[in-house]
Amino acid sequence: MDVIYTAEALSTGAGRNGHVRTTSGHVDTEMAIPKEMGGSGNGANPEELFAAGYAACFHSAIQSVARTQKIALTDSTVGSRVHVIPNGEGGFVLAVDLEVVLPEIDPEVAQALVDAAHQVCPYSNATRGNIVVNITVSDD
């Protein structure tokens, strides 16, 4: 296996109520359980970091596919919502909603771009078959 890049992070303290820092130093933040889950909410949480990563990665995948197909994208966005859901067995699962906005792109072309991006995005490939990922596409 040829590794292209490795990201590295270290969690210290109490995990969800601790601190996380990447070796690059670009992420260096206090963590806190969200208020909705009984915590203080006074810090980032793993789901926020996952949502940010998935949105950025999927957006990049769409742009890459569009470049390959020589389709110009302007003002595109990807929003991500990561949900924590009880699994009924004492644990939890995640679900993701991605909202893709591709202004001035024909709806059929936009859907084809998103479908292709979903096949190349590392987050999509990692989550496929493991969690529910819903993707909506619009032009506004």
Instruction: Give the global pTM.
Output: 0.95
Q: 3-state secondary structure string, the chain?
A: CCCCCCCCEEEEEECCEEEEEECCCCCEEEECCCHHHCCCCCCECHHHHHHHHHHHHHHHHHHHHHHHCCCCCCCCEEEEEEEEEECCCCCEEEEEEEEEECCCCCHHHHHHHHHHHHHHCHHHHHHCCCCEEEEEEECC
Split at pLDDT 50, 70, 90, the class of 86 is very high
Q: Inform me whether the pLDDT recorded for 140 exceeds 90.
A: no
Split at pLDDT 50, 70, 90, the class of 98 is very high
- pLDDT at position 33 is 97
Taking residues 98-122, report their average pLDDT.
98
Split at pLDDT 50, 70, 90, the class of 64 is very high
- Mean pLDDT for all residues in the chain: 97
Q: Inform me whether the pLDDT recorded for 2 exceeds 90.
A: yes
Domain 1-44: which CATH number of 1.10.10.10, 3.40.50.2000, 3.40.50.1370, 2.20.25.10: 2.20.25.10
Q: Inform me whether the pLDDT recorded for 59 exceeds 90.
A: yes
Split at pLDDT 50, 70, 90, the class of 118 is very high
| CATH superfamily membership of 46-138 | K homology (KH) domain (3.30.300.20)
- pLDDT at position 121 is 98
Taking residues 30-47, report their average pLDDT.
97
Task: Break the chain into its structural domains and give their ranges.
Answer: 1-44, 46-138
The pLDDT tens digits of the residues spanning 19-37 come to 999 999 999 999 999 999 9
